[in-house]
Chain A
Amino acid sequence: MTVRVQTEDFDVGFEINQFRKARNDIGAIVSFVGLVRDLNDGDAVSQLTLEHYPGMTEKSLAAIISQAKARWNIIEALIIHRVGTLQPSDQIVLVLVSSAHRGDAFAVCEFMMDYLKTEAPFWKKEATPQGEHWVEAKSADDVARERWNMKK
């Protein structure tokens, strides 16, 4: 498993090929890429700044992968999350999961994003024409995470 918190951009194709070339028993790779949008809750967003808690962030992301590995049959998992200042259409986060069959990879990709959004210590600040403000946490994200306690 791999966790990276970085200011630099990432290359999804490169990361997928790293997974693919490493072994021959992979049947499925699922990826999720989160992007900066130029509109959020009705406000035009010109810039997004991501703050994090160094040390805890990496541990928290590694713990999310460990939980996924304990619950599903996956081969490899990777999370890259960017911090610092980003512009609309920039990539923020990559979650990549490989498995023998697609079911586990699809489930784990969604599980990891739902946990990341509610547990990993990142905070977004948006720059809009009205000034800068911290993004509020959404209760829909808590609901999305809680459903994993009920189903497998």
Chain B
Amino acid sequence: MKIKLFYFARLKEALKYSTEDLELPDESMTVLKLKAYLAKRGDVWGQMLMGKLKVRAAINHELVDDNAAIADGDEVAFFPPVTGG
């Protein structure tokens, strides 16, 4: 399946990516599985996505938790807890 990924704030800076198109193996995918998949890219990916920092995720602009399922064509975003207002 193909998804579009976005990274924001501290994650964007550390990973040096703001957005990417990603082709994933066609198997059941969740937010947690995607984090683990991306963490294999290297140290900084593991630290940012699977480390001590809190990471929040959105699928198609809706906040979701780690168990949320990801489908073909989804827009997935990873970012730190929000600090607006």
| Least distance between B8 CB and chain A CB atoms (Å) | 6
The 8 A CB mask of A93-135 against B (1 = contact, 0 = none) is: 1000000000000000000010011111111110000000011
| Least distance between B10 CB and chain A CB atoms (Å) | 5
Among B21-29, B33-41, B44-52, B74-82, the stretch in contact with A: B74-82
Cross-chain contact A123 with B85 (CB below 8 angstroms): no
| Least distance between B77 CB and chain A CB atoms (Å) | 6
What is the interface residue range for chain B against chain A? 10 to 19
Note all chain B residues with C-beta closer than 8 A to A14: none
Known interface pairs A51-B8, A51-B9; A122-B82 also in contact (CB < 8 Å): yes
A137 partner, pick from B6, B8, B63, B82, beta carbons under 8 A: B82
B85 partner, pick from A53, A59, A113, beta carbons under 8 A: A113
Note all chain B residues with C-beta closer than 8 A to A124: 83-84
Nearest chain-B residue to A126 (Cβ)?
Answer: B83
Note all chain B residues with C-beta closer than 8 A to A50: 84
Q: Is the interface of A mostly helix, strand, loop or mixed?
A: mixed
Cross-chain contact A121 with B81 (CB below 8 angstroms): no
Note all chain A residues with C-beta closer than 8 A to B82: 117-123, 137
Q: How many residues of A contact B (CB 8 A)?
A: 27
Cross-chain contact B6 with A120 (CB below 8 angstroms): no
Question: B16 at the A/B interface (Cβ < 8 Å)?
Answer: no
Residue among B6, B9, B10, B83 with most chain A CB within 10 A = B83
Alpha-carbon distance between A92 and B63 when the two chains are bound, in angstroms = 23
Given contacts A136-B83, A137-B54, list 18 more A-B pairs with CB under 8 A: A51-B9, A92-B84, A93-B85, A113-B85, A116-B85, A117-B83, A119-B63, A121-B58, A121-B77, A121-B82, A122-B82, A122-B84, A123-B9, A123-B80, A123-B84, A135-B83, A137-B80, A137-B82
